[in-house]
Structure 1
């Protein structure tokens, strides 16, 4: 009976991250990943049942480390809602505009129509982040800093505003890089637009 360890799982994720980065999702193979860790495919499948499951685990492991500081911004008590949203937005957009993040998003979109990888990725990653943001929105509504509304809808609309000038152009190759000062200005416009719609009367 194989004994699973966290150290082994981390080693698999690290090796898989390299293979997916080099070969893309379609070009990557479980055989190549198992060879990188010096084990058998049987060992690999003991931890992850499929290449899709492994890929999603890799993306979440990387994203959690990078997006957590942005989400933690929302956990801090503050009465300056605009400043909090700006800091959150700048941290989140900076991560989402990294080339490695964009590459991962492109792979997920390419595979989403052929498998359930898009749903898996969303359920165990972005959906959880959205729920945390929505909880923050709910708290701000209760405090009277935002007007009463559907907190999840407010979350989706804020994220769309943050995305439209930054992540989307990068995904399409219309932009190859966005400087920190530009991100700051773009996020500022998104937050201003959001607050114009959701500020209490």
Structure 2
């Protein structure tokens, strides 16, 4: 069992705690969210809250993981495997960037880095809850697209990872290093368009 999961108790008030915590984290951010306020929003005592999550970072990552799982599932439900690559890649890129550019996505990244020594499993668990799920789906789509003669790919895992990295070009490092603090839809559209053009130039049949 992973370190983080070993410290999380799931009982009848687990969902209640997660919902209350999500509301407070999204409203106040990680640093601004107090345990008192989270307990109040969840309708539980601080003792109950701590019995489920002994560390605020564990609670935040659990909230983030649950949200990421939901977003990944919504993306999968919307994905039409019969569509041409340009359309599917646009949907995948839009969903991916909407999350990593979001306030929650930025906070998750920073906490995973900051807590990598203390809780080395946090980032791994989060990655497997959503990003890995979407990667598997993208690889599956790329295989189907190759079978239809739309793409020419030998290394499907590498191609999927390359597309994700193309989507992070320019704006992602600027957000991480604090050069910018927001991303407009026009900026996001520019990155998505460039990523798809570059990917298709390399792998288009």
Q: What TM-score, normalized to structure 1?
A: 0.77
CA–CA distance in 2 between the matches of 1:154 and 1:18?
37
2:167 corresponding residue in structure 1: 162
Q: 1:136 to 1:48 in 2, by over 3 A?
A: farther
Q: Which moved more, 1:9-18 or 1:147-156?
A: 9-18
Q: CA RMSD in A?
A: 3.0
Q: 1:98 matched to which residue of 2?
A: 102
The aligned residue for residue 178 of structure 2 is 173
Offset of residue 30 of structure 1: 6.9
Alpha-carbon distance between aligned partners in 2 of 1:63 and 1:88, rounded to the nearest angstrom: 14
> CA separation in 2, counterparts of 1:172 and 1:67?
26
C-alpha contact 1:60 1:125 (8 A) present in aligned 2: yes
Name the counterpart of 1:59: 64
1-side partners of 2:42 and 2:154: how far apart?
50
1:194 and 2:194 correspond: no
The number of residues matched between the two structures is 194
Whole-angstrom CA distance in 2 between matches of 1:97 and 1:196: 26
C-alpha contact 1:73 1:88 (8 A) present in aligned 2: no
Name the CA distance, whole Å, in 1 between partners of 2:104 and 2:184.
16
Segments ≥4 residues shifted beyond 4 Å = 18-23, 27-36, 40-53
- Listed as ranges, the gaps of 5+ residues in structure 1 are none
**Which digits, 9 at most, give the CA deviation of each residue in 1:69-100, with x for residues without a partner?**
4444433421x211221232123212321223
Give the counterpart of 1:74 among 70, 76, 79: 79
TM-score by length of 2: 0.76
